[in-house]
Structure 1
């Protein structure tokens, strides 16, 4: 699973702590799936717990933006992404309902992980840039513009590339594991 790194922090203790906890929850679910240690009901409960925590985190994040006076354009973007997250999860849950438990939860976990990685490393990093600019005395509009200009910076995209590399490496590891299982099954 995705390994949290302090470079992904945005400089807001409550948000950074909640991000770490979300990824820790994802890792625990992923480990349980990989070790085949949970029943469907337990996995469903763990996923529900993760989603409840995500809902709390999204609320806290949006509240912080309002309190700090973040530009409404960024707040609206965050709110739309947060709402789409839950919509997409419910849609994926219904689409995978007939799949075997392990495959279903791997797909759900993969979606949640990818979504949170890219949201944290893109949209939330932009939020961090804005909050720092606001603290330095910039207006909300100027802080938003600074974050938009930084969108193409190495600061934001290096972690995304590292996350993609990690996800690719994890996928290759799973492919090799499946190849070994197939070889053993053929013997």
Structure 2
């Protein structure tokens, strides 16, 4: 098995922002690692690198996401056990992997567009989940630690995430969406170029065979 690729990308397509921070050290540290892996994946997919390495980084991202979800749900369970908040958050995690499995099935069938589409999904989903869902849940836990009920904590989180904060989150999501689109476009251009190069190779091979036969 090839060694895990730990090479740092020459640039970060998805820079970490303080807006991603939940205030819970354990979760923030894991989110930082997710973003770091996502940056390596973006670099491999947009640069002229071995596709095998890109697939290995993708597998690493999915493995770590699975670990992070389990860890995160343990934290939320301490505050929201047996509530719809906990159930809905868990369902969101399950839906994430359901979508990933669909993409992986298409990859196994040789669909060339799947990798780019999966990357776009991963980027947008993780950014939205951190900025919207995880930050909201964290704010609720802080409110509950000061004696608020779950309903009061929800209201407190809604107030905190409204107004200027809401505008900032929407702006960040838009930026990440554009960055993802740029990366996906590079990936598609690479795929088209590889296809054309393969067609040229086959044409030359066919011409060479024809010359030899004559």
Give TM-score scaled by structure 2 length: 0.72
Tell me the residue number matched to 1:73. 84
What's the CA shift for 1:45? 2.5
Deviations 1:94-140 (A, max 9, x none): 2344233xx43222111111100011111112112101211222122
What's 1:19 paired with? Answer: 31
> Does the 8 A contact of 2:139 with 2:153 survive in 1?
yes
Measure, in 1, the Cα distance between the counterparts of 2:185 and 2:100: 25
Question: Whole-Å Cα distance in 1 between the matches of residues 118 and 183 of structure 2?
Answer: 19
Determine helix, strand or coil for the equivalent of 1:138: coil
- CA contact 2:19–2:131 (8 Å) conserved in 1: no
Secondary structure class of the residue paired with 2:16: coil
Report the Cα distance in structure 2 between the residues aligned to 1:54 and 1:20, rounded to whole angstroms: 12
2:21 aligned with 1:9: yes
* From 119, 122, 137, the counterpart of 2:147: 137
- Structure 1 portions without partners, runs of 5+: none
* Aligned-partner SS, 2:110: coil
**Does structure 1 conserve the Cα–Cα contact (< 8 Å) formed by 2:22 and 2:28?**
yes
Pick the structure with greater CA Rg. Answer: 2
Alpha-carbon deviation of 1:176? 9.2
* Matched positions, count: 178
Q: Is the 8 A contact 2:106 2:114 kept in 1?
A: no
Secondary structure of residue in 1 paired with 2:67:
helix
Aligned CA distance change for structure 1 residues 174 and 123 (closer, same or farther; 3 Å): closer
Structure 2 unaligned blocks of 5 or more: 1-12, 197-214
Instruction: Give, in angstroms, the shift of residue 157 of structure 1.
Output: 4.1
Moved more, 123-132 or 68-77: 68-77
Deviation track 1:43-72 (CA, whole Å, cap 9, x = no partner) reads 333222211111111111110011234682
Q: Measure the CA separation in 1 of the matches of 2:70 and 2:184.
A: 35
Q: Structure with the greater relative contact order (CA < 8 A, sep ≥ 6): 1 or 2?
A: 1
